[in-house]
């Protein structure tokens, strides 16, 4: 019996996803909850485990394909008969989706822990032929509970429907060279430059292929050495925006994407989701932005003292942790900034806890993962959460659940050397605070000019539910806490 696994909705109303990479190939034996592939949604890169145990019959989508939710992506031979797949043995597989494993963790569609260290990537399969019409007609919807439901059976193929040609026998040499791990942005760069990841040895931790590995492998193909002496260099650094068909003499202008002098990219993934969110916010919530320049000399001095203490020896204590703590404390005094406007219900929703969003620039674009119940964390806890959050986001492993449900956001534009800006609200939130660069500047102290460490803050808020007085008081409170951390003792 052949069971078809369809693209699931991994949460938050997913309508489509792009196939990033397959971890299995036709003929492979798979177990329940074994990772089959990676997909990229508008919010995150997600690993999809298998709801069946059996043998991979056919891959119905190729890397780079955009697949709608409900469309088939893989067919798995689960054996004869109509019985549902048997549970995997604890020694060789994990718990079924939705059930607790031996370690007590719940198996989910987005994975539940790091993959085993012995796992290796299979060579990427070739592109598939036309989908099997009979398989799509006979298979039932496979959702989050697919492992517990009776799997549909494929009808005999209609001889009038063309099938793709049988897969050619695997090349033993190619099978023996398994692909080391590489992050999605690195795989995309390799695809753009025409570099075969199977031929590279990763220089990163655990053999992970890095961007530098790909660029180094692509450099010789950009410009071949000339047999004639020349004063013009024959090898220049590869440009990640150029395709693999680069000229062999002099490389093209790195800013030219085509003969017409322009380069076009499809709007999808994070960029598509970000654009939709920003347009919705800008044309729905009436924005007001206020600015405040703060003397943060005392906060930076406190940071230096704490960094040398034993209590903070295990964590990187950044200025952003102090800003996050100040935002949580100030939000208690101005609940309107930690609220949302419910147009459908005609209500303003005030939240008891602060779900703090931190805007992060990642290789996939702008993401805003959340620190859950940030107001309950002390300074050390916020520092740990910030470190974990940013590392996960930049590695492209933030789950969709961590990108939703925020109540207020901080964006740190200061890391780019920018003093300030007018941030746009995340849809559904009432306020967003932009933190500018922290640097020495002339400042008047007790009537005399002195050099102090200063920072500029910018607060945008939704004027439908936050009045000017409320927004100003909140911004002033944040500034007071950063100017003199001891102020927190008075609240």
Active site residues: 463
CA–CA dist 266, 272 (Å, integer): 9
For the CA atoms of 339, 342, 348, 352, the dihedral, rounded to the nearest 10 degrees, stands at: -40
Instruction: Determine the straight-line distance between the first and last CA of the chain, rounded to whole angstroms.
Output: 67
* Helical H segments across 227-341, by residue range: 269-282, 297-307, 319-333
- Can you tell me whether residue 318 is helix, strand or coil? coil
Helices in 68-166 by DSSP H: which ranges?
133-138
Contact 411, 426 (CB under 8 A): no
Alpha-carbon distance of 391 to 313, in angstroms, equals 19
Question: Residue 334 has which token pair?
Answer: 């101005």
How many C-beta atoms lie closer than 10 Å to residue 169's C-beta? 7
Contacts of 204-209 with C-beta under 8 Å, sequence gap 24+, read 206/117, 206/181, 207/180, 207/181, 208/180, 208/181, 208/182, 208/183, 209/180, 209/181, 209/182
Inter-CA distances, 167 with 57, 125, 136, 385, 403, Å? 11, 10, 20, 48, 40
Q: Can you tell me whether residue 117 is helix, strand or coil?
A: coil
Q: Do 406 and 353 form a contact (C-beta atoms < 8 A)?
A: no
Cα(111)–Cα(399) distance, integer angstroms: 9
d(CA 408, CA 449): 36
């Amino acid at each position: 019996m052949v069971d078809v696994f369809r693209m699931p909705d991994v949460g938050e109303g997913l309508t489509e996803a792009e196939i990033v990479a397959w971890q299995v190939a036709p003929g492979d034996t798979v177990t329940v909850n074994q990772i089959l592939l990676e997909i990229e949604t508008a919010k995150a890169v997600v690993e999809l485990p298998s709801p069946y145990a059996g043998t991979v019959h056919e891959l119905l989508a190729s890397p780079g394909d955009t697949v709608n939710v409900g469309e088939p992506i893989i067919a798995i031979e689960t054996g004869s008969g109509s019985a549902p797949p048997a549970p995997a043995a604890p020694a060789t597989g994990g718990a079924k989706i939705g059930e607790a494993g031996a370690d007590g963790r719940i198996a989910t569609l987005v994975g539940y822990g790091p993959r085993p260290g012995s796992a290796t990537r299979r060579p990427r399969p070739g592109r598939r032929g036309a989908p099997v019409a009979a398989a799509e007609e006979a298979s039932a919807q496979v959702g989050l509970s697919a492992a517990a439901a009776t799997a549909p059976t494929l009808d005999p193929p209609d001889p009038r429907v063309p099938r793709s040609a049988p897969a050619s026998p695997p090349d033993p040499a190619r099978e023996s060279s398994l692909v080391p791990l590489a992050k999605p942005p690195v795989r995309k760069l390799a695809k753009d430059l025409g570099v075969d990841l199977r031929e590279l040895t990763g220089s990163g931790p655990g053999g992970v292929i890095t961007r530098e590995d790909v660029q180094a492998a692509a450099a010789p193909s950009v410009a071949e050495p000339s047999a004639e002496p020349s004063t013009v260099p024959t090898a220049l650094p590869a440009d990640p925006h150029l395709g693999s068909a680069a000229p062999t003499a002099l490389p093209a202008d790195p800013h030219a994407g085509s003969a017409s002098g322009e380069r076009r990219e499809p709007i999808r993934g994070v960029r598509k989701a970000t654009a939709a969110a920003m347009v919705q916010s800008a044309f729905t919530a009436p924005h007001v932005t206020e600015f405040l320049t703060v003397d943060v000399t005392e906060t930076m001095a406190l940071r230096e003292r704490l960094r040398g203490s034993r209590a903070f020896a295990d964590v990187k204590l950044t200025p952003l942790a102090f800003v996050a703590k100040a935002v949580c404390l100030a939000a208690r005094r101005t609940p309107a900034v930690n609220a949302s406007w419910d147009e459908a219900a005609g209500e303003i929703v005030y939240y008891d806890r602060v779900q703090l969003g931190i805007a992060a620039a990642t290789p996939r674009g702008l993401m805003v993962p959340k620190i859950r119940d940030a107001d309950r964390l002390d300074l050390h806890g916020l520092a740990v959460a910030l470190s974990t959050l940013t590392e996960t986001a930049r590695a492209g492993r933030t789950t969709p659940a961590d990108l939703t449900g925020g109540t207020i956001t901080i964006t740190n534009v200061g890391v780019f050397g920018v003093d300030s800006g007018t941030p746009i609200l995340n849809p559904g939130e009432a306020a967003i605070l932009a933190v500018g660069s922290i640097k020495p500047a002339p400042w008047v102290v007790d009537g005399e000019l002195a050099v102090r460490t200063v920072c500029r803050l910018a607060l945008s808020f939704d004027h439908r539910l936050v009045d000017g007085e409320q927004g100003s008081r909140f911004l002033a409170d944040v500034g007071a806490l950063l100017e003199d951390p001891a102020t927190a003792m008075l609240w």
